[in-house]
Structure 1
Amino acid sequence: MVPPAAVIVGLLLPLAAVATSSSGPHIADLNILLPPRLTNPVQYRLQGSDGCFSWSWDHHDLLLVQPEYNGSSQCSTSARLISIAPYSDRKETAVYATDLRTGSMVRCKVLIDKISRIKIFHHAVKINLDDLATLHITAFDDEENVFSSLVGLRFSWQLIPKSLEAESMHRLMHVPLKETPLGDCVSGFCEDLDVQLQLEDKGLGSDLYVVKGIGIGHEIVKAKLLEPQLEHVEDEITLTVAEAMSLYPPSPVFVTVGTLIYYSLRVIHGNTHRGFKG
């Protein structure tokens, strides 16, 4: 008969092996898809953890890797991956993050391919009057794989009233990134936002676009790539602008049988409230 202590030790050994295998240096992405260099090179931030890394990569003609150092530390935990080659066909390369303390190495596969289509994303198709909404563009290749970054690509954005009548007014207005809370970057790694701000300062659009609801109704938002041989790639969505409302008292309300409750409707504009009794 096997002693109970031996059984317990036997069960713990596999658990210890699992814990050991999951420890050590990590990187946030093992596969990255980037477009080729167009007007500007596209860049992506590869984040590492639990290590102090040196970075190396294959195919220096396809990719440039720039280590990042957090503050005064000489330890790199992230790197900027920059696609530098024009498109010929689908390419594959790799980036290696080696932990200087343990010698452990983690590999990230990087694919370079052309953009087949784009899609405008927003967390909801309805926004409140006077509220800001952040729209961003996601791109796909021919196999519907999602590109990891579009930072640096040039876009044209257009706001079109849903009604085609001459007196139709806009329900949305564009708000420059530098005039939004997004413009106050405090993370220490603001390269993506810097590139997007520079594009807007030049009168161009980036993959990030902020709108504000200024009228109740519907508005079409259209985005189009402004890159050579990709001018046909575009997308559009329709957003609805409505007033934000709430009932007071808020639910749940606990009452006895026969109780009469008067509700008031509150309309919210920005930081102000207007009440209407029911």
Structure 2
Amino acid sequence: MRLPAPRLGRVTPLLFPLLLLLGSARPFKLNVPKVLLPFSRERHVPFVLEAEGGCYSWYSTRHDTVTIEPIYENGTTCSQKALLSTQSTQATKLSSVVIAEELVTGHLLRCDIIVDTINSIEIISRTREIYVEDSPLELTVRALDIEGNTFSSLSGMTFEWSIAKDDDMENPFLPVKALFGLFRILKYSEAEYSPPDYIVEMERAEKQGDKILVSGIKTGAAIIKVRIQEATYKKVAAALVRLLVLENIFLIPSYDVYLLVGAYIKYKVAKIVQGKITGLTYLCPLGG
């Protein structure tokens, strides 16, 4: 496919020294070579392209698939970032090419953009165990196409997170309401952590995105479940992850101790709650 000739933006004489400096300081680079974005009838899913080595003009070969808008920072007319937005109205695989042209040298950088439907979702977690009243755990949705490729962004898409019963629970007849006593799904605005800007906006609108925080209230196990809250994806199965809440209990001293015959040492049992050591209990002396 022959690409149309790019249109150069207007460059003022005062900008040339800056452009030359940027061009000579770093090589020409894009942050990613390919981007896979999900089709959505309710949201134009965005993605930010970033270029190095100069100031750029941007264009897309298919505006019906994806549009691109330059980002100007710090009041300059120099663009090193651009905002991609999906525009496809068809639930089928489409592609486009985005070209970034450096304004002084004419150097071209290329990024392939693919828009496709989500086939399945998973929950990404750093651990399956959390402690009572300790730091919350962040859970993130990963979406895959029919070939198992991971989507580059789910920014702004609405999800529904919930708590479900664990089949291995000691009391399988425990009502679902009781499970909310084990876990709490937090908003980022309720915790001391900084989410992406789109999550902040979604929380203000009382919506849930592809990231949440979960904290443990008391010991036990349950299933955290998430599904896409969009009619297009009603047949996509929910993703599940089993989490276990434990007491953060440890011994003091917590290191290996070697004793002579006839010697003894006193141990303490303690637990950490909200970052503080509480519940100190002395054990019977242990001798060697």
Question: TM-score, with normalisation over the residues of structure 2?
Answer: 0.78
Q: Is the 8 A contact 1:248 1:265 kept in 2?
A: yes
Aligned to 2:125, which of 114, 122, 125? 122
For 2:52 and 2:68, locate their aligned partners in 1 and report how far apart those are by CA, in whole Å.
17
Counting only pairs closer than 5 Å after superposition, residues 64-103 of structure 1 correspond to structure 2 as 64-103=67-106
For 1:250 and 1:77, locate their aligned partners in 2 and report how far apart those are by CA, in whole Å.
52
SS at match of 1:41: coil
Q: Is the 8 A contact 2:164 2:179 kept in 1?
A: no
Deviation, structure 1 residue 53: 2.3
Q: Is the 8 A contact 1:224 1:232 kept in 2?
A: no
Deviation, structure 1 residue 81: 1.1
Unaligned runs of 5+ in 2: 1-25, 167-171, 284-288
Computed over aligned residues only, the root mean square deviation of the Cα atoms, in angstroms, reads: 2.2
SS at match of 2:92: coil
Q: Is the 8 A contact 2:163 2:179 kept in 1?
A: no
Counting only pairs closer than 5 Å after superposition, residues 165-180 of structure 1 correspond to structure 2 as 165-166=174-175, 168-170=178-180, 171-180=182-191
Q: How many residues align?
A: 247
Q: Which range is displaced more, 36-45 or 260-269?
A: 260-269
Q: Is the 8 A contact 1:66 1:79 kept in 2?
A: yes
Q: Is the 8 A contact 2:222 2:242 kept in 1?
A: yes
Q: Is the 8 A contact 1:245 1:268 kept in 2?
A: yes
For 2:36 and 2:227, locate their aligned partners in 1 and report how far apart those are by CA, in whole Å.
20
For 1:252 and 1:68, locate their aligned partners in 2 and report how far apart those are by CA, in whole Å.
57
SS at match of 2:231: coil
- Letter of the 1:168 partner, please give it: A
Counting only pairs closer than 5 Å after superposition, residues 185-196 of structure 1 correspond to structure 2 as 193-196=196-199
2:57 is aligned with 1:46 = no
Aligned to 1:230, which of 230, 233, 246? 233
SS at match of 1:47: strand
Unaligned runs of 5+ in 1: 1-22, 186-192
Identity of aligned residues (%): 25
2:155 is aligned with 1:145 = no
Question: TM-score, with normalisation over the residues of structure 1?
Answer: 0.80
Deviation, structure 1 residue 54: 2.0
Counting only pairs closer than 5 Å after superposition, residues 202-221 of structure 1 correspond to structure 2 as 202-221=205-224
For 2:205 and 2:173, locate their aligned partners in 1 and report how far apart those are by CA, in whole Å.
30
SS at match of 2:224: strand
Aligned to 1:251, which of 245, 250, 255? 255
For 1:277 and 1:110, locate their aligned partners in 2 and report how far apart those are by CA, in whole Å.
63
SS at match of 2:127: coil
Deviation, structure 1 residue 257: 4.5
CA 1:252/1:201 → structure 2, altered by over 3 Å: closer, same or farther?
same
